[in-house]
Amino acid sequence: MEVFDRWRTWDDARAGLAEHPALDADRIGRAAHAAVRRHGDQTRPTGAPYLEHLLEALEVLVRGAGETDPDVLAAVLLHDVVEDTPATVADVEDEFGPRVAELVDWVTKPPAGGAGRQAKRAAKSAYLRRLRDAPPEAVRVKLADRVSNVQTLDRMPPDFQRRYYAETLTYIVPLTADEPWFASWYASWRKRYAHLL
Protein backbone atom coordinates (compact mmCIF):
# COMPACT_ATOMS: atom_id res chain seq x y z
CA MET A 1 0.00 0.00 0.00
CA GLU A 2 1.55 3.26 -1.10
CA VAL A 3 1.56 6.13 1.42
CA PHE A 4 1.34 9.65 0.01
CA ASP A 5 3.40 11.90 2.25
CA ARG A 6 6.13 13.37 0.08
CA TRP A 7 4.46 16.75 -0.41
CA ARG A 8 4.69 18.27 3.08
CA THR A 9 5.08 21.89 1.96
CA TRP A 10 3.96 23.89 -1.05
CA ASP A 11 7.58 23.89 -2.27
CA ASP A 12 7.56 20.06 -2.20
CA ALA A 13 4.25 20.01 -4.07
CA ARG A 14 5.39 22.55 -6.64
CA ALA A 15 8.49 20.44 -7.35
CA GLY A 16 6.30 17.36 -7.73
CA LEU A 17 3.89 19.19 -10.00
CA ALA A 18 6.81 20.25 -12.21
CA GLU A 19 7.12 16.57 -13.20
CA HIS A 20 3.67 16.93 -14.79
CA PRO A 21 4.00 19.83 -17.26
CA ALA A 22 0.40 19.50 -18.45
CA LEU A 23 -0.85 20.65 -15.03
CA ASP A 24 -1.74 24.28 -14.35
CA ALA A 25 0.65 24.77 -11.43
CA ASP A 26 -0.24 28.47 -11.11
CA ARG A 27 -3.95 27.71 -10.60
CA ILE A 28 -3.13 24.89 -8.19
CA GLY A 29 -0.78 27.26 -6.35
CA ARG A 30 -3.53 29.87 -6.03
CA ALA A 31 -5.78 27.23 -4.46
CA ALA A 32 -3.00 26.12 -2.08
CA HIS A 33 -2.37 29.70 -0.98
CA ALA A 34 -6.11 30.30 -0.53
CA ALA A 35 -6.31 27.16 1.62
CA VAL A 36 -3.38 28.31 3.75
CA ARG A 37 -4.96 31.75 4.13
CA ARG A 38 -8.32 30.25 5.14
CA HIS A 39 -7.08 27.47 7.43
CA GLY A 40 -4.46 29.68 9.07
CA ASP A 41 -2.68 27.87 11.89
CA GLN A 42 -5.21 25.02 12.16
CA THR A 43 -3.68 21.63 12.82
CA ARG A 44 -4.81 18.05 12.28
CA PRO A 45 -5.64 15.80 15.28
CA THR A 46 -2.04 14.53 15.04
CA GLY A 47 -0.76 18.09 15.53
CA ALA A 48 0.50 18.36 11.94
CA PRO A 49 -0.20 21.60 10.04
CA TYR A 50 -3.51 21.37 8.19
CA LEU A 51 -1.80 22.08 4.88
CA GLU A 52 -0.07 18.67 5.06
CA HIS A 53 -3.44 16.91 4.79
CA LEU A 54 -4.46 19.04 1.81
CA LEU A 55 -1.15 18.43 0.04
CA GLU A 56 -1.39 14.69 0.73
CA ALA A 57 -4.82 14.64 -0.93
CA LEU A 58 -3.40 16.61 -3.86
CA GLU A 59 -0.50 14.17 -4.11
CA VAL A 60 -2.94 11.23 -4.12
CA LEU A 61 -4.79 12.72 -7.08
CA VAL A 62 -1.71 13.72 -9.08
CA ARG A 63 0.84 10.99 -8.35
CA GLY A 64 -1.62 8.21 -7.64
CA ALA A 65 -4.78 8.65 -9.66
CA GLY A 66 -3.21 10.70 -12.47
CA GLU A 67 -5.77 13.50 -12.17
CA THR A 68 -5.16 16.50 -14.44
CA ASP A 69 -8.43 18.44 -14.19
CA PRO A 70 -7.46 21.84 -12.70
CA ASP A 71 -10.85 22.30 -11.02
CA VAL A 72 -10.63 18.92 -9.29
CA LEU A 73 -7.09 19.71 -8.12
CA ALA A 74 -8.15 23.14 -6.83
CA ALA A 75 -11.17 21.59 -5.10
CA VAL A 76 -9.09 18.99 -3.28
CA LEU A 77 -6.99 21.77 -1.77
CA LEU A 78 -10.11 23.71 -0.79
CA HIS A 79 -12.29 20.75 0.22
CA ASP A 80 -12.40 21.65 3.94
CA VAL A 81 -12.55 25.45 3.83
CA VAL A 82 -16.34 25.66 4.05
CA GLU A 83 -16.56 22.94 6.69
CA ASP A 84 -13.68 24.12 8.90
CA THR A 85 -13.34 27.87 8.39
CA PRO A 86 -15.68 30.89 8.08
CA ALA A 87 -15.46 30.63 4.26
CA THR A 88 -18.66 29.97 2.33
CA VAL A 89 -19.36 28.19 -0.93
CA ALA A 90 -20.01 31.65 -2.40
CA ASP A 91 -16.50 32.71 -1.33
CA VAL A 92 -15.02 29.70 -3.13
CA GLU A 93 -17.12 30.49 -6.23
CA ASP A 94 -16.02 34.14 -6.23
CA GLU A 95 -12.37 33.13 -6.19
CA PHE A 96 -12.34 29.88 -8.20
CA GLY A 97 -15.58 29.71 -10.17
CA PRO A 98 -18.81 27.71 -9.99
CA ARG A 99 -17.39 24.29 -10.81
CA VAL A 100 -14.80 24.31 -8.00
CA ALA A 101 -17.47 25.66 -5.65
CA GLU A 102 -19.84 22.85 -6.62
CA LEU A 103 -17.18 20.20 -5.96
CA VAL A 104 -16.33 21.73 -2.58
CA ASP A 105 -20.03 21.90 -1.74
CA TRP A 106 -20.51 18.19 -2.49
CA VAL A 107 -17.74 17.16 -0.10
CA THR A 108 -18.64 19.60 2.67
CA LYS A 109 -20.25 17.91 5.63
CA PRO A 110 -23.29 19.94 6.76
CA PRO A 111 -23.52 20.95 10.41
CA ALA A 112 -25.29 18.45 12.66
CA GLY A 113 -28.96 19.30 13.10
CA GLY A 114 -28.96 18.84 16.86
CA ALA A 115 -26.70 18.56 19.82
CA GLY A 116 -25.08 15.37 20.93
CA ARG A 117 -23.11 12.49 19.51
CA GLN A 118 -26.11 10.72 17.94
CA ALA A 119 -27.16 13.79 15.96
CA LYS A 120 -23.60 14.27 14.70
CA ARG A 121 -23.30 10.63 13.65
CA ALA A 122 -26.69 10.73 11.89
CA ALA A 123 -25.73 13.90 10.00
CA LYS A 124 -22.39 12.38 8.99
CA SER A 125 -24.02 9.15 7.79
CA ALA A 126 -26.53 11.11 5.71
CA TYR A 127 -23.70 13.16 4.19
CA LEU A 128 -21.69 10.04 3.34
CA ARG A 129 -24.73 8.33 1.78
CA ARG A 130 -25.40 11.44 -0.33
CA LEU A 131 -21.97 11.08 -1.95
CA ARG A 132 -23.37 8.15 -3.98
CA ASP A 133 -25.16 10.80 -6.05
CA ALA A 134 -22.15 13.09 -6.43
CA PRO A 135 -20.52 13.76 -9.80
CA PRO A 136 -17.41 11.63 -10.45
CA GLU A 137 -15.10 14.61 -9.94
CA ALA A 138 -16.49 15.23 -6.45
CA VAL A 139 -16.18 11.52 -5.67
CA ARG A 140 -12.49 11.65 -6.61
CA VAL A 141 -11.98 14.63 -4.29
CA LYS A 142 -13.61 12.68 -1.44
CA LEU A 143 -11.67 9.51 -2.20
CA ALA A 144 -8.37 11.42 -2.13
CA ASP A 145 -9.36 13.18 1.10
CA ARG A 146 -10.10 9.83 2.73
CA VAL A 147 -6.86 8.26 1.46
CA SER A 148 -5.00 11.01 3.30
CA ASN A 149 -7.06 10.35 6.43
CA VAL A 150 -6.72 6.55 6.47
CA GLN A 151 -3.28 5.87 5.03
CA THR A 152 -1.77 6.11 8.52
CA LEU A 153 -4.81 4.96 10.46
CA ASP A 154 -2.56 3.07 12.89
CA ARG A 155 -1.42 6.39 14.38
CA MET A 156 -4.92 7.09 15.74
CA PRO A 157 -6.46 5.77 19.01
CA PRO A 158 -7.61 2.12 18.73
CA ASP A 159 -11.34 2.80 19.18
CA PHE A 160 -11.20 5.48 16.47
CA GLN A 161 -9.31 3.12 14.16
CA ARG A 162 -12.04 0.47 14.30
CA ARG A 163 -14.88 2.95 13.87
CA TYR A 164 -13.19 4.80 10.98
CA TYR A 165 -12.21 1.55 9.25
CA ALA A 166 -15.83 0.35 9.37
CA GLU A 167 -17.12 3.73 8.16
CA THR A 168 -14.65 3.71 5.26
CA LEU A 169 -15.70 0.19 4.22
CA THR A 170 -19.38 1.06 4.45
CA TYR A 171 -19.47 4.44 2.72
CA ILE A 172 -16.20 5.18 0.92
CA VAL A 173 -15.03 1.91 -0.62
CA PRO A 174 -18.28 1.52 -2.64
CA LEU A 175 -17.51 4.90 -4.26
CA THR A 176 -14.45 3.32 -5.90
CA ALA A 177 -16.58 1.12 -8.22
CA ASP A 178 -15.93 3.39 -11.22
CA GLU A 179 -12.45 4.50 -10.13
CA PRO A 180 -9.94 1.70 -10.86
CA TRP A 181 -6.89 3.33 -9.28
CA PHE A 182 -8.77 4.11 -6.07
CA ALA A 183 -10.36 0.64 -6.05
CA SER A 184 -6.89 -0.92 -6.15
CA TRP A 185 -5.47 1.39 -3.48
CA TYR A 186 -8.38 0.83 -1.09
CA ALA A 187 -8.19 -2.96 -1.65
CA SER A 188 -4.57 -2.98 -0.46
CA TRP A 189 -5.45 -0.61 2.40
CA ARG A 190 -8.30 -2.90 3.41
CA LYS A 191 -5.91 -5.87 3.63
CA ARG A 192 -3.38 -3.92 5.66
CA TYR A 193 -5.98 -2.94 8.26
CA ALA A 194 -8.15 -6.10 8.11
CA HIS A 195 -7.33 -6.80 11.78
CA LEU A 196 -9.65 -3.90 12.70
CA LEU A 197 -12.78 -5.84 11.69
User: What integer pLDDT is reported at residue 113 of this predicted model?
Assistant: 64
User: What integer pLDDT is reported at residue 197 of this predicted model?
Assistant: 83
Whole-model pTM: value is: 0.94
pLDDT tens-digit map of 93-127: 999 999 999 999 999 998 766 667 888 888 888 89
**CATH-assigned architecture of domain 10-196:** Orthogonal Bundle (1.10)
**Known catalytic residue at 84:** yes
Select which of 83, 93, 167, 179 is catalytic. 83
pLDDT tens-digit map of 2-29: 999 999 999 999 999 999 988 999 999 9
Chain centroid, CA 135 distance in Å: 15
Radius of gyration of the chain (CA): 16
pLDDT tens-digit map of 58-71: 999 999 999 999 99
Residue 171 confidence (pLDDT) above 90: yes
Q: Is 42 exposed, middle or buried (0-12, 13-18, 19+ CB in 10 A)?
A: middle
Select which of 12, 69, 84, 179 is catalytic. 84
User: What integer pLDDT is reported at residue 28 of this predicted model?
Assistant: 95
Q: How far apart are CA 141 and CA 76, in angstroms?
A: 5
Q: Which of 86, 87, 84 is nearest to 43 (CA)?
A: 84
Cβ proximity of 184 and 140 under 8 Å = no
Cβ proximity of 4 and 63 under 8 Å = yes
Q: How far apart are CA 149 and CA 161, in angstroms?
A: 11
**Known catalytic residue at 154:** no
Residue 34 confidence (pLDDT) above 90: yes
